[in-house]
Structure 1
Amino acid sequence: MNLLHIDSSILGDHSVSRKVSAAAVVAIVAANPGVKVTYRDLDAAPAPHQSGALLAARLLDPGARSADQARDITEADAVLDEFLAADIVVIGAPMYNFGIPSTLKSWIDHLAIAGKTFSYSEAGVQGLAGGKRLILASSRGGFYGADSPMAAVQHQESYLRDFFRFIGIPDVEVVSAEGVNYGPDHKQKALDGAVAEAANLGRALQAA
């Protein structure tokens, strides 16, 4: 079984989402000792930003690409290959400015490839990346849940759910730590609750 672990927080050891995603991964590995883990820290090593230059480089003969172009294409292809090979994906995703970190968006841009993760047909869009379990370790400084007055501006979990549904993963399992900027006591309580929930969820994921 292959597990892909993604972190995107810029806060390093101070990050709540990193602690929650790590708890899920540790529990999954404990329950499935043979699991192979691939880890990407998108803050330390961002995926190449999708750009016109990168798209143009793909049209060149491989021998005509510069060293930088070749490196970026190799890295972008690795992002997709790692995702396609994964049976379980665990993503640590804090909310920044009502959305996701820009590095996580860049990573996602390399997953949205027609013919690889989705296709268009007369019947509409078909997701091609089904069969994966996806755990989202979410953190937010304030309160943006469905019963909150701020729910309408929460474009973090909602965006990720919609994207992965689009490519064939409709059931994203979300563990959230909310209100972590409402003082140290609340932060610790939210963190402890999310870590425990993530660990329980991870222990429940047994290899087939």
Structure 2
Amino acid sequence: MAHILHLDSSPRGDRSISRTLTKEFITDWKATYPKDTVTYRDLGHYPVPAVDEPWIAASFTPAESRTTELAVAIKTSDELIDEFLAADHYVFGVPMFNFSIPSTLKAYIDQILRVNRTFVVNNDGYEGLAKDKKMLIITARGGTFQNGTPFAQYDFQEPYLRTAFSFIGITDITFIHADNLAAGDEVRQQSLTAARAAIEKVVATW
């Protein structure tokens, strides 16, 4: 039995493509694996706080030495990391904003990439602590940024997410891009059909 952390980062509601597709994935997954459990976090509507100076001080202070102020400053980060590490699989919905990710997701990543919690520094450099897990990231993009296309160099979304999560040990990452969504109805439907076919494949093989 696996546990999934399902996370959406779009600020939109029912009109969100990324939310729609992650919901379809989770619905199909639960129908296929009814004993699996899911935790849901909605960053788009309920953002987490940004890192600030007390957070930084607390993260580099041993827990037993933290003042009440520092303990409060790091409390949300501890809760988010506990939730994150408890999962076996991750399903993230991520719209592309200005060639990258929403600020709400960046704030979340800043909260969970933390020394001695999700990575350590040793004689060999950095070692991620979130190992042996799988991640699916479903994106929604107005254009196309696939390798070999004219705008591939503008994609700071997938490379950043791969780097950030592989840094903490998650290297088995699958991307499904619902792209070209602003290219007209026919192209949009072709992209959504391809994304849904890819979702079905992941459900069957993950």
**TM-score normalised over the length of structure 2:** 0.89
The answer for unaligned runs of 5 or more in structure 1 is none
Mapped partners of 1:84, 1:149: distance in 2: 38
State the match for 2:98 in structure 1.
Answer: 97
Tell me how large the CA RMSD over aligned residues is.
1.9
- One-letter amino acid of the structure 2 residue matched with residue 18 of structure 1: R
* DSSP 3-state at the match of 1:96: coil
* DSSP 3-state at the match of 2:41: strand
Question: Which segment drifts farther, 50-59 or 153-162?
Answer: 50-59
Q: How does 1:67-78 map to 2 (within 5 A)?
A: 70=72, 73-78=74-79
| Residue 201 in structure 1 maps to residue 202 in structure 2 | yes
Mapped partners of 2:129, 2:75: distance in 1: 22
State the match for 2:83 in structure 1.
Answer: 82
State the match for 2:67 in structure 1.
Answer: 61
Q: Does the aligned pair in 2 maintain the 1:18–1:92 contact within 8 Å?
A: yes
Mapped partners of 2:79, 2:14: distance in 1: 26
* DSSP 3-state at the match of 2:186: helix
Mapped partners of 1:116, 1:54: distance in 2: 14
- One-letter amino acid of the structure 2 residue matched with residue 99 of structure 1: S
1:130-162 CA deviation, whole Å, 9 max, x = no partner? 111100101111111111111111000111011
Q: Does the aligned pair in 1 maintain the 2:181–2:188 contact within 8 Å?
A: yes
* DSSP 3-state at the match of 2:112: coil
- One-letter amino acid of the structure 1 residue matched with residue 11 of structure 2: I
Q: How does 1:1-208 map to 2 (within 5 A)?
A: 1-56=2-57, 61-62=67-68, 70=72, 73-205=74-206
* DSSP 3-state at the match of 1:110: helix
Mapped partners of 1:165, 1:177: distance in 2: 23
**Residues 76 and 123 (structure 1), Cα distance of their counterparts in 2 relative to 1, 3 Å cut:** closer
- One-letter amino acid of the structure 1 residue matched with residue 34 of structure 2: P
Identity %: 37
**TM-score normalised over the length of structure 1:** 0.88
Higher RCO, 1 vs 2 (CA within 8 Å, ≥6 residues apart)? 1
Q: How many residues align?
A: 200
- One-letter amino acid of the structure 1 residue matched with residue 176 of structure 2: V
Structure 1 residue 56: deviation in Å? 4.6
* DSSP 3-state at the match of 2:38: strand
